[in-house]
């Protein structure tokens, strides 16, 4: 059962790569990333649904991870939260950080709310069913994969892309920052997408 | 007499390993609410003329302390358990965010910034070295 699930997952990943590859080959004119990836979505929070379409007046910062991630996720989220805290109040008020857990089995919504607030008082955190999450990560060009840690007390970890998606006030994916680019570039990117 | 000798011997051994392996700039990360996982980072220097092999750590305050490493795999951040960390004679290894770390899995209590945490490093030859590290928050 487990191995067939893993197999199906890998088939999906390969299919995804092939799909993206053929699309890129077909589309010879260079397109910006925002034309291909991103778009409206909803995800479940402790006190209801987060719907991207409700946030047209805000720049949304989206990160996919999992709460028991011991290093990479907290680093990315702390960097993001710390940068937001340093921005002028009027700018920060135009930004909505959002953490989406791709580990709904371990992360309940109550726990996620506290987890988000730890990194920034305005950070929302939610998750959803595996089916919905899979569609959502694909929509944004993210990946994740359950990594069984047979020799570790962790049980399993979740391999995942560590990227911060910057969604502008029109709901369009404006930019994607890799893990290493958050610290040097996030503040400047946000200043360009907000009004003084 | 025998037991005194044992105690003396173990004291000597502890001192010896403490001299052989020095730990600098070590700290543990404070835990976000509800999370019983954390990581410790440090610089380990082997001052001896032999390879030092660390297999992990132990403490009564946590289910397991393991050495983990991060690597980019297919564009994804992936973690793997390292059963042995080998530090060559005279060399240093830096454990830093995004790379090598001691992973604390199943903490019995939250780690609060400003407090300290004590645990043992466990070596392949069965020796131990106790360590007390400060707990730091990465959130400003």
Per-residue pLDDT tens digits of chain A, which is 196 residues long: 566 777 777 777 777 776 666 555 544 444 444 457 999 999 999 999 999 999 999 999 999 999 999 899 999 999 999 999 999 999 999 999 999 999 999 999 999 999 999 999 999 999 999 999 999 999 999 999 999 988 899 999 999 999 999 999 999 999 999 999 999 999 999 999 999 8
The answer to whether A75 touches B98, Cβ cutoff 8 Å, is: yes
DSSP letter for each residue of A28-86: -S---HHHHS----EEEETTEEEEGGGGTTSEEEEEEE-TT--SHHHHHHHHHHHHHHH
Give contacts of B72 with chain A, Cβ < 8 Å: none
Residues of chain B with pLDDT under 50: 9, 11-16, 18
Provide Rg for chain B, Cα atoms: 16
Please tell me which of the candidates A75, A85, A152 has its beta carbon nearest to residue B138.
A75
Interchain pair A119, B32: CB under 8 A: yes
pLDDT tens digits, A122-171 = 999 999 999 999 999 999 999 999 999 888 999 999 999 999 999 999 99
Assign domain B2-136 one CATH number from 2.60.40.1890, 3.40.50.920, 3.20.20.70, 1.10.10.10: 2.60.40.1890
Does residue A74 belong to the interface with chain B, where contact is any CB pair within 8 Å?
A: yes
Shared-domain flag, residues A25 and A57: no
Considering the domain architecture, whether residues A8 and A50 belong to the same structural domain is answered as: no
A144 with B76: Cβ contact below 8 A: yes
Are both A46 and A25 inside the same structural domain? Answer: no
Q: Which domain holds residue A99?
A: 37-193
Q: Is the ipTM of this complex over 0.85?
A: no
Beta-strand pair B85-87/B76-81? unpaired
Whole-number Å distance between alpha carbons of A136 and A40: 9
Together in a domain, A72 and A156: yes
Please enumerate in sequence order all residues whose Cβ is within 8 A of that of A1, keeping only pairs 6 or more positions apart, or say none: none
Based on the fold, state whether residues A127 and A44 are members of the same structural domain: yes
3-state secondary structure of B29: strand
Interchain pair A161, B76: CB under 8 A: yes
**Contact with chain A for residue B74, Cβ under 8 A:** yes
A contacts of B97 (beta carbons < 8 Å): 71-72, 75
A56/A129 same-domain check:
yes
Identify the pLDDT of residue B12: 46
- Other C-beta atoms closer than 10 Å to the C-beta of B80 total 17
Q: What is the DSSP letter of A179?
A: G
> In a 3-state reduction of DSSP, which class is residue A110?
helix
Query: Does the distance separating the beta carbons of B103 and A70 come in below 8 Å?
Result: yes
């Amino acid at each position: 059962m487990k191995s067939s699930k893993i197999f199906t997952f890998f088939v999906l990943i390969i299919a995804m790569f092939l799909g993206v590859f053929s699309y890129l080959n077909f589309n010879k004119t260079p397109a910006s990333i925002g034309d291909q990836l991103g778009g409206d979505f909803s995800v479940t929070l402790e006190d209801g649904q987060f719907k991207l379409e409700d946030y047209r007046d805000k720049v949304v910062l989206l990160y996919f991870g999992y709460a028991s991630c011991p290093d990479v996720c907290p680093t990315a989220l702390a960097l993001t939260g710390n940068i937001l805290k340093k921005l002028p109040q009027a700018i920060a008020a135009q930004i909505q950080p959002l953490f989406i857990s791709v580990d709904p089995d371990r992360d309940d919504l109550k726990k996620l709310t506290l987890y988000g607030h730890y990194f920034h008082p305005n950070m929302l955190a939610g998750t959803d069913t595996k089916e919905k999450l899979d569609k959502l990560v694909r929509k944004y060009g993210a990946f994740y994969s359950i990594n069984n840690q047979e020799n570790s007390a962790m049980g399993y970890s979740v391999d995942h892309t560590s990227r911060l998606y910057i969604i502008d006030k029109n709901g369009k994916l404006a930019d994607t920052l890799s893990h290493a680019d958050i610290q040097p570039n996030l503040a400047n990117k946000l200043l360009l997408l907000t009004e003084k | 007499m025998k037991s005194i000798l044992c105690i003396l011997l173990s004291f000597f051994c502890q001192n010896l390993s403490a001299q052989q392996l020095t730990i600098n700039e070590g700290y543990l990360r404070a835990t976000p609410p509800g999370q019983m996982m954390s990581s410790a980072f440090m610089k380990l220097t082997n001052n001896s003329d032999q390879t030092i092999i660390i297999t992990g750590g132990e403490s009564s305050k946590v289910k397991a302390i393991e050495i983990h490493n991060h690597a980019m795999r297919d564009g994804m951040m992936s973690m793997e358990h390292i059963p042995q960390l080998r530090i060559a004679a005279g060399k240093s290894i830096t454990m830093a965010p995004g790379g090598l770390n001691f992973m604390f899995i199943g903490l019995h209590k939250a780690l609060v910034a400003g407090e300290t945490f004590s645990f043992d490093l466990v070596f392949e030859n069965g020796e131990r070295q106790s360590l007390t590290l400060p707990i730091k928050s990465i959130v400003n």
